[in-house]
Homo-oligomer: A and B are copies of this chain.
């Protein structure tokens, strides 16, 4: 399919991919083209020819770098989840062990990742279902771990009396969902920094879990 979609699924245009140190040339161009197209039209709405055209490469060239179209998506999904996990890891390493601060650090990481790499986030979220089971498994594992981590923080906050929320897992679902969707509408053109959005969402998260002031 080659028609452009009439209404954007992602508001922002860039940045698209984080630095991919070791990989240059056709690999990077193809990945970048696929990212843009999968984000805009979805995996099923994008043909290998579409990708090759945007990448200014022949369709056959794609197969020198990826075993199949699905593997291109798999690679984008992997990168997306890796970036997400990396931000989570850094956030945890640098934060004091207070639930209130831990939650803030996680939400900030979550939201800013979705604002900084919106296309990557949309593809990793919305096109995951297009992957065959074995290619999707690693991403699903990371997702479960992240959610579990967030849940443990919230439950610990509740146990310590710092948070007050009836069903922590529902709060986690709500907080996660809030952040996911940022990828769809955030763009620097809004005149608001990604940090400012993250700040606001941290406040929302605190409120949802009933965090005590201070």
Given known A42-B44, A44-B42, contact A204–B208 (CB-CB < 8 A): yes
Contact with A181, one of B128, B180, B207 (Cβ below 8 angstroms): B180
Given known A177-B177, A201-B174, contact A132–B42 (CB-CB < 8 A): no
CA distance A41 to B131 in the complex (A): 10
Given known A173-B185, A174-B178, contact A6–B204 (CB-CB < 8 A): no
Please tell me if A167 contacts chain B, counting CB pairs below 8 Å: yes
Please tell me if A98 contacts chain B, counting CB pairs below 8 Å: no
In the complex, per-residue mask of A163-182: 1 if CB is within 8 Å of any chain B CB, else 0: 00011001101101110111
Measured between beta carbons, the chain B residues less than 8 angstroms from A3 are 132
Please tell me if A159 contacts chain B, counting CB pairs below 8 Å: no
Count A-side interface residues using an 8 Å CB cutoff: 44
A interface residue numbers (CB < 8 A to B): 1, 3, 5-9, 40-46, 126, 128-133, 136, 140, 166-167, 170-171, 173-174, 176-178, 180-182, 185, 197, 200-201, 203-204, 207-208, 210
User: 23 A-B contacts, Cβ less than 8 Å apart?
Assistant: A5-B129, A6-B133, A7-B129, A7-B133, A7-B136, A8-B129, A41-B44, A41-B129, A43-B45, A44-B44, A44-B45, A44-B46, A167-B200, A170-B201, A173-B185, A174-B178, A174-B201, A177-B178, A177-B180, A177-B182, A181-B181, A204-B208, A207-B210
